[in-house]
Structure 1
Amino acid sequence: MRIRPLGIEGAWEVTPQQHGDPRGLFVEWYRFDRLAEAVGHPLRLAQGNLSISARGVVRGVHFADVPPGQAKYVTCVRGAVLDVVVDVRVGSPTFGRWEAVRLDDTDRRAVYLAEGLGHAVCALTDDATLSYLCSATYRPAAEHTVHPLDRDLGIDWPVGRPLLSARDAAAPSLAAARAAGLLPDHAICRSYVDGLRSPGLRPPAG
């Protein structure tokens, strides 16, 4: 398993080693210890989700209030998606920047993003299926979204006419979300993540 940081602090790309023979394939798609070593603390597993999308669907840009935020470990188990990490943390050196990784059922990469980062995906195939592990359970009142077609963000979506949910289509721009005080603060996010660090790599209790 190879884990490399992306250009946005708090985001990593994970490339697993695949073991195949005439019977099929085996992949360690998540390793607690390897991820903890890379990011500096264990991922608390609070919720697991599957998301299935038709080709051309765009979901996001979603983020949660910090604390506690919601770190995510995302992989594509069927089809292909463009996975996009957006830095929505006010005060971050890369505020407003985004980075994309193709996740598919061929290379079987994963993306980890820390609390406070924005997340979006674009389905490149029909029935594109994402599996993602979350550090906190879903709390509707603490969840927010920025419009994925915001011109200031300038995300280069690989589809002509993205299909959006009603919620995402009505989402504010990054500038409007900032003016409304909805965006996470970079310093608070860093302090929260620093508080998760521990000298050992033992699994979280519970």
Structure 2
Amino acid sequence: MTFKETKLEGCYILQPNIFTDKRGYFIESFNQQTFNSLLGLEVNFVQDNESKSSKGVLRGLHYQLGAHAQAKLVRVVKGAVLDVAVDVREGSKTFGQYVAVELTEANKTQLFVPRGFAHGFIVLEDETIFSYKCDNYYNKASEAGIIYNDDDLNIDWQLPSTDFILSDKDIILPKLKDAKL
């Protein structure tokens, strides 16, 4: 597995080794010892989540506040997404900046999103299955978010906004300048 730090400190793109032959492929999608060694810190994942979505579904931008903040290791099992991480760490030199990475069934790329980042994705193919690990348990009272179309972030979601499918909750999220941090 290879790790490459993005322009946002602590946010990494991971590429597992892919072994293919006439039967198909094999990857080790996660190894705690390798992950912590390459990252240089101890991350203990406690919860795995999975979603299935149609093309155009936009989920995010979400994060958990305070003691319930979560780091995530995200990947696509089937289909494709544009995955976005936004630095919402007050005082960070990259506060308000984002990275966007295409995660697909074919490329097997993963993104590590550390605590202090908002996270979201838009589905680029029908029947996409998105999987992620969290290092802290979800707490409804601590959920927060940023509206997907915040002009200050200016995220290029790669699809026309007329194609977006959003939850009622995500449509009313605040802009970063008004968000709880």
- TM-score, normalising length from structure 2? 0.95
Number of residues of Structure 1 aligned to a counterpart in Structure 2: 179
Is 2:44 the counterpart of 1:44? yes
- The 5-angstrom pairing of residues 146-157 of structure 1 reads 146-157=146-157
Rounded to whole Å, the distance in 1 between the matches of 2:17 and 2:56 is 29
3-state secondary structure, aligned to 1:100: strand
- The 5-angstrom pairing of residues 80-95 of structure 1 reads 80-95=80-95
3-state secondary structure, aligned to 2:67: coil
Rounded to whole Å, the distance in 2 between the matches of 1:112 and 1:29 is 13
- The 5-angstrom pairing of residues 134-149 of structure 1 reads 134-149=134-149
Rounded to whole Å, the distance in 2 between the matches of 1:38 and 1:156 is 30
Is 2:85 the counterpart of 1:67? no
- The 5-angstrom pairing of residues 1-206 of structure 1 reads 1-161=1-161, 162-177=164-179, 182-183=180-181
- TM-score, normalising length from structure 1? 0.84
Identity across matched positions, percent: 36
- The Cα offsets for residues 68-104 of structure 1, whole Å up to 9 and x where unpaired, read as 4111000100000001110111111001101111100
Deviation, structure 1 residue 40: 2.1
Name the counterpart of 1:196: none
* Equivalent pair of 2:68/2:142 in contact (CA under 8 Å): no
Q: Please list every run of 5 or more consecutive structure 2 residues that lacks an aligned counterpart in the other structure.
A: none
* Equivalent pair of 2:52/2:130 in contact (CA under 8 Å): yes
Rounded to whole Å, the distance in 2 between the matches of 1:128 and 1:10 is 27
Larger radius of gyration: 1
Q: Please list every run of 5 or more consecutive structure 1 residues that lacks an aligned counterpart in the other structure.
A: 184-206
Deviation, structure 1 residue 112: 0.6
